[in-house]
Amino acid sequence: MDFRKTQIGRMLEQMKLAMLAHIPVIYIPTDQMELIHEILYSDNTIDSLVPRVKYDSEKKAVVKLANKEYGVKDDEKRTFSSIKDNYLIFVNSIDSDVVRCPSILLTYTTKWDKVETGIRNFISDYMGVKRSKDNNPNPYHVANISRSLCIVVTPTEQVIPENIAPYVMTVRVPALLDEEIEAVISSEFNAESMDISVLRRSEVLYSQMIVSLRGFSVLRIRQLLRQMIASQSIDFNHVNADAVLAAIRVSKKQMLENCNGLKWEETNATNAAGLDSISKWLEERIDIFSDPERAAQCHTDIPNGLLISGIPGSGKSLMAKTAAYKLGLPLISLDMGALLNSLMGESEHNMINALRMSENMAPCVLWIDEIEKAFSGSSQNSSSSDGGVGRRMFGKFLTWMQEKTAACFVFATSNDITCLPPELFRSERFDRKYFTFMPKAEECAQIFASNIKAQNKSYREELEAMPVSKRAKMAQQLFATNLEKDSFWLDIINQECTANMDACHLKLKERNDVNESEKEDDVYVWSSSSRPKNKLMTGADISALIKEAKFLIRPLGNSDTIQTVIYGEYQMKNAVEQMMRSRTFKPYGETNLKDIVRCFLKLHENEFVPASGTCILDFERYDEDKCIYRHNPASDRWPNPYDQVLYYTIVGAINQYAKNL
């Protein structure tokens, strides 16, 4: 492989360009100390950088390397006889008014302000600002310093002080190429006297392994391979594929521990009810992530991400966990609030660091929950008190979304897209824009059943982990099996949530200005004079119902009788029905009709598509100019009364409120 295309080769090429352009300071944000050591102490550096700084080759003049900023006093002094010998620690005496020979000065620091004075002095010398005692430039001093270079290294990328920024070039550590990763693996196998063919028996596993190791340093890959060999996940004759990929994930999780704003999340196999269209879209693209090598050969583009918006409590967050599970990828959440910093420019750099770390985690799902909270003040016309920080962070994010090449699949959710800047909705930002809405009767029943199934599963796992003696005293099940059936809950929903059905029926609104040519624009409103009140639920409302029902019928006191089931069918039915009839239970569809209408209008405006296979409303029936929803006569024949009530209530609300929202 051509050295100039390697990780170190690419960095050295940038450093050479900086030196040829007479840029005095190079800034390398990285925590890979072994990489810096390799760059500065290897023969490749001597071939690449030293010819640029060497002062007098005939006299074999030395090139000195310092591990502290220019001008710091150090009693250690050395004399060198050859170029290679120069790669020892050296710091000029503070008493020295000149750089005795061209030097590479290196400083590690955690904050720029700790080295700012020294760097500024070095730049002054480099630019010929500093003069000798007779106030004339010292030609010997200028000749040496102009061939010198200062390198600043910090563990994370930070804002360069404004007064020295024009004289600094940032050289970022590029990711290892796949060929380099393969070379590291091969080298480590050779060091362990193992045949790499044992790893390459499964090309799919080998491909997954290479892709999963992208973003890792050479040192990290070597350490990880040694751990796999030591734990016998890889041995001379066998490779445990699951253990290998799991070890890589654990290592990635550890990398996130000190990264601001990023968090490792657990995935979930539970399907989010009512989001069938999203599930289908993801399942059609699983092969792109499971076999990235094949996808690359076919020039199949890696999906960019999904934007899911809709009313709160409709399963968007659960879908993020399900999406990562379906794709077989780790789930990383990005908390924009944790990136904010009071210092000028720090927030933007925190964003850059987080996005770069996300790419190092690839392939992964990057989950940005409630994205509107992060970018609500980012539109051009918005007035913001943050000094434009939100706008700049949003710009960084959009640029990254457009330019990223890593398999970092963005799953963004939003409860209120009215706060989001329009740039986010443009084509190719996200592969799809889905919306979640009020679930229909069958979807509500699925949510009830899924919630019960998940709790039963968790309870069984707890039992299996218990000692046999303790397990014998426990109930065999948390909920009765019949409660896991959709049909059980569908009957309750249709019966208890349609009490005010007559009040929400639609009637033709009387308008004196309606003529024969406008009959197709008839406006239907609620038949009652007041807003109908029905128990129209979201997934969050259903979870709250189950939680409250459990509280009402929880076993009290100690009993010697061992129950088969803790929460029986009859008990749960009565408790849930009691809650639904209670005045204290006010679900989202009863209290937030205006918010539902506002959400519908914004989703319609930005051409979102339904996440559900069957949505209660059809965007095609809404007239944006006249702010009316044309009645669908087929709704009167829908089999579930709950769906009719849901439809009547929301359509009436649209025709009642749309003009004023």
pLDDT value at residue 47: 66
- When pLDDT is cut at 50, 70 and 90, the band that residue 407 belongs to is confident
- When pLDDT is cut at 50, 70 and 90, the band that residue 605 belongs to is confident
| pLDDT value at 630 more than 50 | yes
CA pair distance 176, 361, nearest whole angstrom: 13
Provide mean pLDDT across the span 586-606.
90
CA pair distance 561, 542, nearest whole angstrom: 31
Residues 426-476: tens digit of each pLDDT: 877 899 999 999 999 999 999 999 999 999 999 999 998 888 888 888 888
Interstrand relation of 477-479 and 506-508 (parallel, antiparallel or unpaired): unpaired
Q: Read off the DSSP letter of residue 27.
A: E
Highest mean pLDDT among 161-175, 248-262, 287-301, 524-538: 161-175
CA pair distance 654, 661, nearest whole angstrom: 10
Domain boundaries, the chain: 3-170, 178-256, 262-436, 439-499+534-591, 503-530+593-661
CB of 255 closer than 8 Å to CB of 219: no
| pLDDT value at 344 more than 80 | no
pLDDT value at residue 499: 75
pLDDT value at residue 121: 80
| pLDDT value at 63 more than 60 | no
Provide mean pLDDT across the span 548-554.
92
CB of 277 closer than 8 Å to CB of 614: no
- Residue 525 C-beta-side C-alpha neighbours within 13 Å: 13
Residues 646-657: tens digit of each pLDDT: 998 899 899 888
pLDDT value at residue 165: 92
CB of 504 closer than 8 Å to CB of 648: yes
Nearest alpha carbon to residue 150 among 196, 104, 205, 112: 104
- When pLDDT is cut at 50, 70 and 90, the band that residue 98 belongs to is very low
| pLDDT value at 296 more than 90 | no
User: What is the Cα gyration radius of the chain?
Assistant: 33
The mean predicted confidence, pLDDT, of the chain is: 80
Provide mean pLDDT across the span 250-269.
85
| pLDDT value at 660 more than 70 | yes
pLDDT value at residue 520: 55
Cβ-count burial 32-55 (b if 16+ within 10 Å, e if not): beebbebbbeeebbbebbbebbbb
- When pLDDT is cut at 50, 70 and 90, the band that residue 567 belongs to is very high
What percent of the chain stands above pLDDT 70?
Answer: 80
Provide mean pLDDT across the span 135-160.
75
Residues 583-593: tens digit of each pLDDT: 889 999 989 99
Instruction: For residue 110, give every residue at least 6 positions away whose Cβ sits within 8 Å of its Cβ, in sequence order, or none.
Output: 154, 155
- Residue 271 C-beta-side C-alpha neighbours within 13 Å: 15
pLDDT value at residue 504: 65
- When pLDDT is cut at 50, 70 and 90, the band that residue 544 belongs to is very high
| pLDDT value at 521 more than 70 | no
Q: Which residues pair with 28 in a beta bridge?
A: 153
| pLDDT value at 66 more than 60 | no
Fold of 262-436: Rossmann fold (3.40.50)
Highest mean pLDDT among 12-21, 497-506, 532-541, 568-577: 568-577
| pLDDT value at 397 more than 50 | yes
pLDDT value at residue 519: 52
pLDDT value at residue 129: 54
| pLDDT value at 576 more than 90 | yes
Structure tokens at 176: 């290892």
CA pair distance 486, 260, nearest whole angstrom: 42
From the CB of residue 504, how many other CB atoms can be counted at a distance below 10 Å?
A: 25
Residue type, 348: E
Instruction: Determine which of 242-256, 540-554, 571-585 has the lowest per-residue pLDDT on average.
Output: 242-256
Nearest alpha carbon to residue 455 among 443, 467, 447: 447
What percent of the chain stands above pLDDT 90?
Answer: 26
pLDDT value at residue 290: 76
Q: Nearest 5 degrees, angle CA 22-CA 25-CA 27? A: 135
pLDDT value at residue 366: 94
Residues 156-215: tens digit of each pLDDT: 888 899 899 999 999 999 989 889 999 999 999 888 888 888 888 888 788 888 888 888
CB of 345 closer than 8 Å to CB of 279: no
| pLDDT value at 155 more than 90 | no
Cβ-count burial 79-92 (b if 16+ within 10 Å, e if not): ebeebeebbeebbb
Residues 353-396: tens digit of each pLDDT: 888 888 888 888 999 998 887 776 555 555 455 667 777 888 88
- When pLDDT is cut at 50, 70 and 90, the band that residue 225 belongs to is very high
pLDDT value at residue 223: 93
* Higher per-residue pLDDT: 464 or 339: 464
245, 291, 444, 535, 649 from 541: Cα distances, Å: 38, 40, 10, 10, 18
Please state at what angle helix 641-657 crosses helix 486-496, rounded to 10 degrees. 50
Report helix, strand and coil shares of the chain as percent, to nearest 5: 50, 10, 40
CA pair distance 69, 230, nearest whole angstrom: 42
pLDDT value at residue 613: 76
CA pair distance 347, 374, nearest whole angstrom: 12
